[in-house]
Amino acid sequence: MSSAYSTVVDLLSKLSINPKTVEHEPVADNKAWNAALENIQAGVSYKLSKTLVLKPKTAKSAAPTPLVILALDSTETNITAISKSIGLKDCRFASEDLLKETFDEDKTSVSAFSLSNVKDLSLVHVVVDSDLLSLDATEFIAFHPAASDKTSFISSADLKAYLDSLGKEYKVLNFKELAAAAPAPAAKSAPKAATKPAKPVAAAASAEDIHQMGIEHKKNEDLPRWYQQVLTKSDMLDYYDVSGCYILRPLAYNIWKEIQNFFDAAITEMGVEDTYFPMFVSNRVLEKEKDHIEGFAPEVAWVTKAGKNDLEEPIAIRPTSETVMYPYFAKWIRSHRDLPLKINQWCSVVRWEFKNPQPFLRTREFLWQEGHTAHLKKEDADVEVRQILDLYEQVYTDYLALPVVKGVKSEKERFAGGLYTTTVEGFVPATGRAIQGGTSHALGQNFSKMFNIVVEDPNSPVSATEEAKKIHVWQNSWGLSTRTIGVMVMVHGDDKGLVLPPRVANCQVVIIPCGLTVKSKQEDYDTIYGACNDLAAKLKKAGFKCKTDLRDNYTPGYKFNHWEIRGVPLRVEIGPNDLKKQQVTAVRRDTGAKSAISLNNIENGVRETLDTIQHDMFVRAKAERDASIVRIDKWDDFVPNLNDKKLILMPWCDRTECEDDIKDRSSRSNDTEEEVDERAPSMGAKSLCRPYEQPTENPIVPGETKCAACGQDAKHFMLFGRSY
Amino acid sequence: MSSAYSTVVDLLSKLSINPKTVEHEPVADNKAWNAALENIQAGVSYKLSKTLVLKPKTAKSAAPTPLVILALDSTETNITAISKSIGLKDCRFASEDLLKETFDEDKTSVSAFSLSNVKDLSLVHVVVDSDLLSLDATEFIAFHPAASDKTSFISSADLKAYLDSLGKEYKVLNFKELAAAAPAPAAKSAPKAATKPAKPVAAAASAEDIHQMGIEHKKNEDLPRWYQQVLTKSDMLDYYDVSGCYILRPLAYNIWKEIQNFFDAAITEMGVEDTYFPMFVSNRVLEKEKDHIEGFAPEVAWVTKAGKNDLEEPIAIRPTSETVMYPYFAKWIRSHRDLPLKINQWCSVVRWEFKNPQPFLRTREFLWQEGHTAHLKKEDADVEVRQILDLYEQVYTDYLALPVVKGVKSEKERFAGGLYTTTVEGFVPATGRAIQGGTSHALGQNFSKMFNIVVEDPNSPVSATEEAKKIHVWQNSWGLSTRTIGVMVMVHGDDKGLVLPPRVANCQVVIIPCGLTVKSKQEDYDTIYGACNDLAAKLKKAGFKCKTDLRDNYTPGYKFNHWEIRGVPLRVEIGPNDLKKQQVTAVRRDTGAKSAISLNNIENGVRETLDTIQHDMFVRAKAERDASIVRIDKWDDFVPNLNDKKLILMPWCDRTECEDDIKDRSSRSNDTEEEVDERAPSMGAKSLCRPYEQPTENPIVPGETKCAACGQDAKHFMLFGRSY
């Protein structure tokens, strides 16, 4: 990228063009570009440009003759009209491969300057919007100089100079006039639509959509951009103008609702009741438990004003609700008969982190549930900690089709102010990093002592003093957040987009009419569309979440992409041949496997296929995760495996000093390597958990087995890894 | 009250005691008292006192001989030990009537000084905690001087001087030592509990609970305190240390969940999808629509700090989400095919009002749903506005058993920035005030013009210019909040506490064993308790929300109160006589009516009774509401009816000037009256809505019927009233 950029700089400077250039975050489309430029305030008056590359229909054996269209982003580009006016027809947007082959660029970086990369310019058609060449001297055109994270501002005159320098004929057209004169495709097809649906062709109006629709980054090549594109192009999430905050669109929110439904029912069964505490906390209450608040203080958001008035004292927005709730526990719990007290709330919390935010994984506001309970006996609290952890595991395994490791956090990693922390640890193979998926804390009596939550021991001897009879209650707290969704996307998503496990998909089955051509008659349409609607009704009745895509202005191929990006688990195609055989063609999103399902057994067939998908997704993810946990016995194997995107299971001494040392040694190690791979970041390894399921083969022999890191006596096997 | 207070001041000043006295909000118990004092920071070091009044067992015909116990609030008062040490037994807390009769005080205002009101001090026993009389000179004792909204601080020496001045013998005891020496009641009964439940007696430990349990204010005498007590004593809500914020406890939150379940399913059916937008809004976005933000600006809470760092620019917390969402509508809606766009979110919003907060009715943070939709055609938007309004009506009528009037807001009262606002208006008979119960706004195109939410008109002629083809979408927004719960409490609650409609009760049926006495055998207990458990299992299986109250340390009477305060719709009593007849005794919370239900038809019997309760509650509320709407034709009838707690339906000219004038004239009117009744506040009347259901008898005759307020031509009937 950067060498491509310097090539552009060089070739422009030869023409005495030295454009102002600014850097910004990489942008995937012009909306993002616009936002990025607004952010940095370039200090010039500019208009965004767009560069469209199309491929006119040619014989299969012939070399492609791409059409390059240069225009202002704000100008309507009626592709049919434009291509027609230079004698081309049936233009489609060029594939990424063609872009690469012809211009050595991808869609986000292609620009007018890419023409300099073309080996044989005679094969290329160039059409330029007259508006682009007629800006007045105070206005600049914004271009990407061969890189989507940079913008150069050049004048109309300079652009013309550059184009002229190519020695290639180009055509200047007034795109606005062209577009205005062109027939409106919708108006044309409107009368037809009433009787027979318009033929499914990729109309000019939608060609641009197709091009913008696909995921342009490969998961194993550029995970961050892939992740961003999958989230936004699947309509799962949108970026928001307050940094670190994101919009959860229906596709994402529905997953959260499914998790809520399952988990809320399960804890209700356990006697937990839902409640809602205020989001605001006074400073006095927030600071009551020192260890606890120390962990959160740097990230607390403070409200200091209402309207134009300063508040008498700043009020915090909850980062978590221990100190919000426990003064009321002290009030409500007056006797051992009030125990156990078990409440939960579904809410959002705010942690104003200054690290790089990432949708779902690290956000400043996020949705979660937080359960808070109080018990008379430690044993009861301990049991509940595990029950909740098992439910968290179920959320991952049964709903999100993701494996987790259940275990206990080390002393260093446990919740501030608590007694011990249990966790479900997820794993993202693409980065080789673990991710804390949900935590269930035994808080012990620390908070109950701080907040004076006491009852009289019903079993204390008669002679005991009042003080001796007092029992500080045993408390737990446990939380699961929308982070779950991010892990799911990271693990299951592929180069085509999202892949949703059927149990959390808001659309499980999409039905698409196929096999209709320009030659098809009205009856053919009626038959196929009717069959689609009938099937949808049948499946809905059987409890499936199901949609039909009968849009008449898109081809089946377009629709396939559309629903693949959105992760719909099962696509059902219905065409004339299918109907003849009284069947449908079912295509699995997770594997792409096609199969026929008989129409007279369709409910069972769909149910079985969805169950299989759900099951297979988990099995695949688990196999990959299992293969990524390496058991080692000596330190030499630690860093190489870590850098190989593995998690490490090893005998450990359970000492914080040793853990600090491991982190240190595993982050330093990279410095000595010649090349640092950005996808194997140099961050040190953390302890993830002491798995409840300890190896039974070659188990720890007390006094004999040594810690793989420091050589002292090992206490148990511990899981280590890089972590989100 | 205030004259009682001056009596105390007078009698103390005669003793040369002039205590510092502060004023605060009326407090119902010592927790609230403590909070109130912390709030105002009295500037002295103090300890709260408590004054307990008990009634020892006496012959029915004999005059009662109350025992007055004075102690520090922090001191444990073992009533059994204390009464025993002065030769009394079987002490129960005195009834409100006895308090009134003996001391001319109620529970919240009774204090040491109340002894001055006693006509015959020889009948009263007085016992004083030695700690109360031995504070050092820098510490003061906090007392209520005959009023729960005042606190006087006096020294131990002054208290002693006062007590001595009474000329009445009083006993000083060391309560702590007494309590420590007393046998623990729980330990005593523990061994028994394992085999046979302890006899249901109101043990000393629980006597205090009983006293604190009941609602001490009558709904029609002191509505504000009644409301506060019903909410807190029913465990529905708790006060919170950030003003204007409240804790929704499970009883209240469950009502919200029931509303959510119904409403969310209904709008899902309409194609609305749930989503979640960030709670934070940048200033730039918030201010985009001027009219709109003007309505909210004074109440917006601003985050200006994170940790110790000032934010670069302050960020608002959403007061509502129009301006949060609509920039994204502009992004997501690219074609008429993207319409209608219908999203909804369940969240909390913050409006930092400075008026007196009231739980549920006016709070700084509240829970709500907000729906936001965009349509191609105004007609479609109009239809949806009414569909949503009908759903809001259903929430009130079908779930909360409350009648509402559906209608359109006047120009003056409509949503800022919108086209027109529709509303469901509730009514609180106790105050004669209406309350806006939910609003469904047609926003028109105002926001879509501001935020540039446009599509190309699919029906525009081919020849139209690009500009002419543009359609700004038609938008709606609609919201319903936890205010619903407040209205329900206000309307249905009675002097015994909460009354819950069965459809929103988290416990619909409570089963209480009855008829067991000290003479009952273990088998009797087994039989009755067993029958209770069996019935509970049966009812749960049939889908009822049901609890048994088998606590062995409370009498049936105590349990009746306990569940009555909490509003449980149906109490089922099972005693030996019931079992003999193979029946249960069912008692309705709403009417107190008792009936027998046969055990072999119990599911149907319970279902029918609950249905009847739900139905009757609505019918009663509607009859009362209907009787409170008075149709008038002339202004003279306006204010008298308003002051008689009525709503007014009258022909109206529909002019904002006239509305302003009505408000003015209806608020001024009270000034001329000699006595201002605090329950008929002097606030002016507002227009509530133009009911969709206009009177058919004597309808408006255009050009003939005149506005009852100004005499101009009437346009329609309008509902007016005082309003929350």
Residue A39 counted as domain residue: yes
Residue B225 counted as domain residue: no
Task: Report chain A residues whose CB lies below 8 A from the CB of B460.
Answer: 184, 187
Written as six digits, the tokens of B116 are 């001055």
User: CB-based contact (8 Å) between B193 and chain A?
Assistant: no
Residue A213 pLDDT level (bands cut at 50, 70, 90)? low
Q: Which residues pair with B50 in a beta bridge?
A: B71
Instruction: Nearest chain A residue to B350 by CA: give it.
Output: A279
User: CB-based contact (8 Å) between A554 and chain B?
Assistant: no
| Helix pair B204-213, B185-195: axis angle to 10 deg | 100
Instruction: Nearest chain A residue to B295 by CA: give it.
Output: A307
Which one, of B370, B285, B321, lies nearest residue A241 by Cα? B285
pLDDT at B509: 98
User: CB-based contact (8 Å) between A181 and chain B?
Assistant: no
CB contact under 8 A, B190 and A458: yes
Q: What is the tens place of the pLDDT at every residue in A354-389?
A: 888 999 999 999 999 999 999 999 999 999 999 999
Distance from CA of B298 to the nearest CA of A (A): 4
Answer yes or no: is pLDDT of B332 > 50.
yes
Q: Is A584:A573 a contact under the CB 8 Å cutoff?
A: yes
Answer yes or no: is pLDDT of A66 > 80.
yes
CB contact under 8 A, A253 and B275: yes
Distance from CA of A679 to the nearest CA of B (A): 30
CB contact under 8 A, A456 and B275: no
Which residues contact residue B198 at a Cβ distance below 8 angstroms, ignoring those fewer than 6 apart? B189, B192, B552, B553
Instruction: State the residue for tokens 């090893």.
Output: A650
CA distance A546 to B152: 70
Regarding whether B18 and B156 lie in a shared domain, the answer is yes
Regarding whether A126 and A14 lie in a shared domain, the answer is yes
CB contact under 8 A, B186 and A458: yes
- DSSP conformational letter for A357: P
Nearest CB to B247; choose among A277, A337, A350: A277
Residue B227 counted as domain residue: no
CA distance B668 to B685: 11
Q: How far is CA A6 from the centre of its chain?
A: 33
- DSSP conformational letter for B398: I
CA angle A325, A327, A329 (to 5 degrees): 70
Pairing relation of β-strands A433-444 and A474-481?
antiparallel
Regarding whether A384 and A484 lie in a shared domain, the answer is yes
Residue A333 counted as domain residue: yes
CA distance B297 to B319: 9
Choose the final residue of a domain: B600, B620, B640. Answer: B620
Give the domain extent around B545: 502-620
- DSSP conformational letter for A128: E
The predicted model gives B329-333 an average pLDDT of 95
User: CB-based contact (8 Å) between B295 and chain A?
Assistant: no
Q: Which letter, b or e, does each residue of B86-122 get, where b requires 16 or more Cβ atoms within 10 Å of its Cβ?
A: eebeebebbeeeebeebbbbebbbbbbbbbbbbeeee
Q: In which region does residue B324 sit, left (phi positive, over 0), alpha (psi from -120 to 50) or beta (all else)?
A: alpha
Side chain identity, residue A485? I
Side chain identity, residue B337? R
Nearest CB to A76; choose among B305, B462, B466: B466
The total number of structural domains that make up chain B? 4
3-state secondary structure of B527: helix
Residue B670 pLDDT level (bands cut at 50, 70, 90)? very low
Phi/psi for B533 (5° steps) reads: -65, -40
Regarding whether B263 and B398 lie in a shared domain, the answer is yes
Regarding whether B642 and B580 lie in a shared domain, the answer is no
Regarding whether A156 and A14 lie in a shared domain, the answer is yes
CB contact under 8 A, A469 and B184: yes
Nearest CB to A257; choose among B274, B300, B306: B274
3-state secondary structure of A425: strand
Q: Supply the DSSP string of A545-609, one letter for each residue.
A: -EEE---TTS-HHHHHHHHHHTT-SEEEEE-HHHHHTTEEEEEETTT--EEEEEGGGHHHHHHHH
Q: In which region does residue A104 sit, left (phi positive, over 0), alpha (psi from -120 to 50) or beta (all else)?
A: left
Distance from CA of A322 to the nearest CA of B (A): 14
Q: Is B405:B688 a contact under the CB 8 Å cutoff?
A: yes
Nearest CB to A238; choose among B238, B328, B367: B328
User: CB-based contact (8 Å) between B165 and chain A?
Assistant: no
User: CB-based contact (8 Å) between A360 and chain B?
Assistant: no
Which one, of A17, A125, A142, lies nearest residue A71 by Cα? A142
Q: Is A394:A504 a contact under the CB 8 Å cutoff?
A: no
Residue B49 counted as domain residue: yes
Residue B315 counted as domain residue: no
User: CB-based contact (8 Å) between A357 and chain B?
Assistant: no
pLDDT at A59: 65
Written as six digits, the tokens of B215 are 């609602």
Alpha-carbon dihedral A698, A703, A707, A708, rounded to 10 degrees:
-50
CA distance B359 to A441: 32
CB contact under 8 A, B187 and A460: yes
Distance from CA of B302 to the nearest CA of A (A): 5
Residue A597 counted as domain residue: yes
CA angle B326, B329, B333 (to 5 degrees): 155
Nearest CB to A306; choose among B257, B284, B301: B301
Q: How far is CA B118 from CA B44, B49, B115, in A?
A: 31, 20, 5
Which one, of B84, B82, B81, B88, lies nearest residue B66 by Cα? B88
The predicted model gives B360-373 an average pLDDT of 97
pLDDT at A678: 38
Least confident of A373-382, A663-672, B43-52, B368-377: A663-672
CA distance A361 to B105: 60
Q: How far is CA A418 from the centre of its chain?
A: 31
Choose the final residue of a domain: B181, B200, B223. Answer: B181
Q: Is A702:A645 a contact under the CB 8 Å cutoff?
A: no
The H-or-E segment that residue B93 falls in is strand B92-93
Residue A200 pLDDT level (bands cut at 50, 70, 90)? very low
Residue A110 pLDDT level (bands cut at 50, 70, 90)? confident
pLDDT at A70: 93
Q: Give the 3-state DSSP-derived string for B681-705, with helices as H, strands as E and coil as C.
A: CCCCCEEEEEECCCCCCCCCCCCCC
CB contact under 8 A, A302 and B306: yes
Instruction: Nearest chain A residue to B297 by CA: give it.
Output: A307
What value of ipTM does the predicted structure carry?
Answer: 0.75
Mutate to test the interface with B, among A178, A269, A287, A302 (most CBs of B within 10 A): A302
Within a 10 A sphere around the Cβ of A136, how many other Cβ atoms?
8
Regarding whether A485 and A339 lie in a shared domain, the answer is yes
Regarding whether A259 and A363 lie in a shared domain, the answer is yes
User: CB-based contact (8 Å) between A533 and chain B?
Assistant: no
Instruction: State the residue for tokens 């009948």.
Output: B123
Least confident of A478-487, A546-555, B541-550: A546-555
Answer yes or no: is pLDDT of A63 > 90.
no
Residue B539 counted as domain residue: yes
List, in sequence order, the alpha helices (H) in B462-555.
466-469, 483-492, 522-541
Pairing relation of β-strands A150-154 and A20-23?
antiparallel
Distance from CA of A223 to the nearest CA of B (A): 25
Q: What is the tens place of the pLDDT at every residue in B217-255?
A: 999 999 999 999 999 999 999 999 899 999 999 999 999
Q: Is B437:B404 a contact under the CB 8 Å cutoff?
A: yes
CA distance A669 to A245: 35
Please give the residue that has the higher pLDDT: either B39 or A392.
A392
Regarding whether A634 and A606 lie in a shared domain, the answer is no
CB contact under 8 A, B466 and A180: yes
Q: What is the pTM of this model?
A: 0.75
Regarding whether A431 and A334 lie in a shared domain, the answer is yes
3-state secondary structure of B284: helix
pLDDT at A681: 55
Q: What is the tens place of the pLDDT at every residue in B618-647?
A: 999 999 999 999 999 999 999 999 999 999
Answer yes or no: is pLDDT of B58 > 80.
no
User: CB-based contact (8 Å) between A186 and chain B?
Assistant: yes
Q: What is the tens place of the pLDDT at every residue in B84-119?
A: 888 887 788 887 778 888 888 777 788 888 888 888
Regarding whether A614 and A633 lie in a shared domain, the answer is no
| Helix pair B602-627, B483-492: axis angle to 10 deg | 90
CATH of the domain at B361: 3.30.930.10
User: CB-based contact (8 Å) between A306 and chain B?
Assistant: yes
Choose the final residue of a domain: A568, A603, A620. Answer: A620
Which one, of A142, A149, A70, A62, lies nearest residue A103 by Cα? A70
Regarding whether A142 and A29 lie in a shared domain, the answer is yes
Task: Report chain A residues whose CB lies below 8 A from the CB of B458.
Answer: 186-187, 190
Q: Give the 3-state DSSP-derived string for B564-622, with helices as H, strands as E and coil as C.
A: HHCCCCEEEEECHHHHHCCEEEEEECCCCCEEEEEHHHHHHHHHHHHHHHHHHHHHHHH
Task: Report chain A residues whose CB lies below 8 A from the CB of B285.
Answer: 241
Which residues contact residue A225 at a Cβ distance below 8 angstroms, ignoring those fewer than 6 apart? A26, A28, A216, A217
Instruction: Nearest chain A residue to B336 by CA: give it.
Output: A186
CATH of the domain at B16: 3.90.960.10
CATH of the domain at A560: 3.40.50.800
Please give the residue that has the higher pLDDT: either B212 or A405.
A405
Answer yes or no: is pLDDT of B602 > 90.
yes
3-state secondary structure of A340: coil
CATH of the domain at A713: 3.30.110.30
Mutate to test the interface with B, among A253, A311, A354 (most CBs of B within 10 A): A253
Within a 10 A sphere around the Cβ of B582, how many other Cβ atoms?
11
